[in-house]
Amino acid sequence: MWRIGLDAGFSCPHREGGRGAGGCAFCAPDAGLAAYQHDGRRLVEDLDEQIARGLGFLRNRYGARLFFLYFQAYSCTNLPVAQLAQVYDNAVALFGARAPGTLRGMVVSTRPDCLDRAKAELLSSYTARGMEVWLELGLQSSNDSSLARINRGHGAQAFVDAARVSRGLGLKRACHLILGLPGESKADMLRSAEFAAAQGMEGLKFHDLRLVKGSALARNLPAGEYAPLHPSRLPGLLAEILERLPWEVEILRLSADFPKGHCLDIFPPIEKNQLYTAVERMLAARNSRQGGGIAQRAAR
Ligand code: SF4
């Protein structure tokens, strides 16, 4: 099954003024959307066209037959509940007209402080229609100092609250974490992964920090206050993280993925499949696996 990444017209409360203050330091101008939704550097706006492009790309490239709608760009719960339902329903209907019988679920990505129980219950209502529903919550780090440094606009407690209000509703929840945030040590990153898993997440997504052109981080790089994580550190770091996670937590991503030319890359990024292989090799060399770390073995 494949996700069709969409910009369904949401905004982000953290970029709108008020709480705003300009958004997260790493955030892309288009808030991060799949390459196939870009026409050159222009983002395709029409939702039906986005669905058509996503279907076309995923069918041609991967032979995809079954799909999830992925509400990906900005904060995709950033509307009152009644309007949220209209946006999701509209996308489901547009998809149904283009590819009847092939929708298996939806993925909704958002900030943890943009969720309440009513919104979580709305998402849960789609499971009653036979869909698998994933809620993706951006945490990035469990360290409040790191979150302040990247102007995240919320602390770790907001994530704890979001995990609580979305619990017990039949949703699958995934947490986004960034590796290599300014000022973070390996211990910070390990702690963040354990923290997210301890909140009962069904899935985790790891992104290595990339300097997206137009982001505050990329603009501020010349000030010299940030040294990027070298890609060669990723396999070892990810292997150590995986060892500490419960085996049943689904790992949805191990590295960031941006369209070519969208980032300022100080070091050439490691290719995704090479990274996966390197992590597997690293775990094998350590005679280890996800959930097989020292802490887990000692606890048994
Ligand atoms: S990363 Fe997400 S929460 Fe942060 S500014 Fe961008 S869209 Fe908003």
| pLDDT above 80 for 88 | yes
Nearest Cα neighbor of 23 from 189, 206, 154, 128 is 154
pLDDT of 168 reads 97
Nearest Cα neighbor of 209 from 189, 193, 190 is 189
Chain-centre distance for alpha carbon 170: 20
- Alpha-carbon distance of 88 to 79, in angstroms, equals 11
Residue of minimum CA distance from atom 2 in ligand 1: 74
Nearest Cα neighbor of 259 from 68, 65, 57 is 57
Rounded mean pLDDT of the chain?
Answer: 91
| pLDDT above 80 for 18 | no
| pLDDT above 60 for 53 | yes
33, two tokens: 């959307």
**What domains are there in the chain, each with its CATH number?**
2-225+246-258 (3.20.20.70)
Residue 23 CA, closest ligand 1 atom number = 5
pLDDT of 17 reads 58
| pLDDT above 50 for 192 | yes
- Alpha-carbon distance of 197 to 191, in angstroms, equals 10
Specify the pTM.
Answer: 0.93
SS3 185: coil
| pLDDT above 70 for 141 | yes
- Alpha-carbon distance of 283 to 277, in angstroms, equals 10
The residue ranges of DSSP E strands in 180-284, in sequence order, are: 203-208, 211-212, 250-253, 263-264
Q: Are strands 172-179 and 203-208 parallel, antiparallel or unpaired?
A: parallel
Distance 259 CA to ligand 1 centre (A): 18
Ligand 1 pocket, CB under 6 A? 12, 14-15, 23-24, 27, 31, 74-75, 111, 138
Q: pLDDT category, 41, cuts 50, 70, 90?
A: low
Pick the residue with more confidence: 198 or 259? Answer: 198
pLDDT of 194 reads 97
Distance 165 CA to ligand 1 centre (A): 21
Strand partners, 203: 174, 250
pLDDT of 299 reads 45
Q: Tens digit of pLDDT for each residue in 241-263?
A: 999 999 999 999 999 988 788 89
In contact, 106 and 133? CB cutoff 8 Å? yes
